[in-house]
Amino acid sequence: MDAPTPPLYIDCPEDVAVAARALAGGAVVAAAFANFYAIVTRPDAATVRRVNLAKGRPVHQVGSVTTAIGRIPGMFDWTRISPRLPVGRVRALMDSLYAAGPFGFRGPAAERLPEHLTQVDQGLRTTQVIAPGLTCPSNAFLARALAETGSDHLYITSANRSRHVTGAAEEPAHWKAGGVASDFAHLDDLVVLLHRDEAAARAAYPGYLATSVTLLSFHAPVGDLEEPPVLTVDRHGSLHLDDVRRAAAPLGLQVRLAGARGNGCGSGVRRALV
């Protein structure tokens, strides 16, 4: 009988190296990521499609990007940003929100990013960049995985089965490793890089739900030309809309939910924690 595989922990450099090498070799890594878990893999099309199938998603569903915190601005084509939207303000908002915790931005995609990690919206080719926040130990894993793959970006998705399979209106990401292992037991190359203490990881982000990140879009600001530009929350996830607004307001930016009318005064419904 084979001996049980010892657990791997996100705060152990040796374990991080093991997981990063496995990722570079094509494995699917479920990594501790801020206050929950995320699937992180190589960014090639074949791997992204394999994960889509493993999750029960449409095989060609477009993926999101993650990278080391210092590389995030390089995922976007800043020459394609609206002249109504000062680049410095958007960069400052990114710095503010990523310093606080896990978050996501969608904007004009850098030209080198492949088709399966971008989507066209309102005539612009865009990408979603998801990051765990400045203080999360998973940044060391992301940096090591980038070095092992020789890439400047990785593929990331929520660590759960798709609602297309479960039939639920929403399928929350897992914040406990047991749920991840159960959902992806059919993958023989799954590597789980654990939180040392899952309860402590949740407590480290008291203002965040333990679910997929809030996603703010800046590629197509809306509103009247005379008013401050309005950015759109495409997904109201772990960080409350009011907190996003508080970060944006000092920079002269407004924020509203996708589909909301007016000047962004609607509060919307926050995604439930299950």
Domains belonging to the chain, first-starting first, are 8-204+211-257 (3.90.870.10)
pTM: 0.91
Rounded mean pLDDT, 164-185: 77
> What pLDDT sits at residue 4?
62
pLDDT at 271: 40
R_g (Cα) of the chain, nearest Å: 18
- Indicate the pLDDT class of residue 171, thresholds 50, 70 and 90: low
267 has pLDDT over 90? no
What was the pLDDT predicted at 274? 26
Report the pLDDT value the prediction gives residue 107, as an integer from 0 to 100: 98
Q: What is the pLDDT of residues 182-218, one digit of tens each?
A: 999 999 999 999 999 999 999 999 999 999 999 999 9
Greater model confidence, 165 or 233: 233
State how far the Cα of 91 lies from the Cα of 95, in Å rounded to an integer. Answer: 6
CA atoms within 13 A on the CB side of 158: 22
Give the pLDDT band (50/70/90) at residue 3: low
Which tokens hold the place of 191?
A: 């590597």
Residue 180's pLDDT is 95
Categorize the per-residue pLDDT at 165 as very low, low, confident or very high, splitting at 50, 70 and 90: low
Across 124-132, average pLDDT: 97
Report the pLDDT value the prediction gives residue 151, as an integer from 0 to 100: 98
Buried b or exposed e, range 39-72, using 16+ CB within 10 angstroms: bbbbbbeebbbbbbebbebeeebbbbbbbbbebb
Residue linked to tokens 């960049």: 129
* Res 27 pLDDT > 80: yes
Q: Which two tokens stand for residue 265?
A: 């005064």
**Residue 170 has what pLDDT?**
56
Model pLDDT for residues 213-230, shown as the tens digit of each residue: 999 999 988 876 667 889
To which residue do tokens 């996708």 refer? 258
Q: What is the DSSP string of the chain?
A: -PPPPPPEETT-HHHHHHHHHHHHTT-EEEEEETTEEEEEE--SHHHHHHHHHHHT--TTPPPEEE--GGGGGGGB-GGGS-TTS-HHHHHHHHHHHHHHS-EEEEEEBPTTS-GGG-EEETTEEEEEEEE--TT-THHHHHHHHHHHHT-S-EEEEESS--HHHH--S--PPPSSHHHHHHHTTT-TTEEEEE-S-HHHHHHT-TTB-SSSPPEEEEEEEES-TTSPPEEEEEE--SB-HHHHHHHHGGGT-EEEETT--TTS-----PPPP-
Q: Tens digits of per-residue pLDDT, 78-113? A: 999 998 899 999 999 999 999 999 999 999 999 999
Mean pLDDT estimate for the chain:
90
Please give the angle made by the CA atoms of 51, 53 and 57, to the nearest 5 degrees.
100
Which pLDDT score, from 0 to 100, does residue 224 have? 65
Name the least confident of 14-18, 29-33, 74-78, 173-177. Answer: 173-177
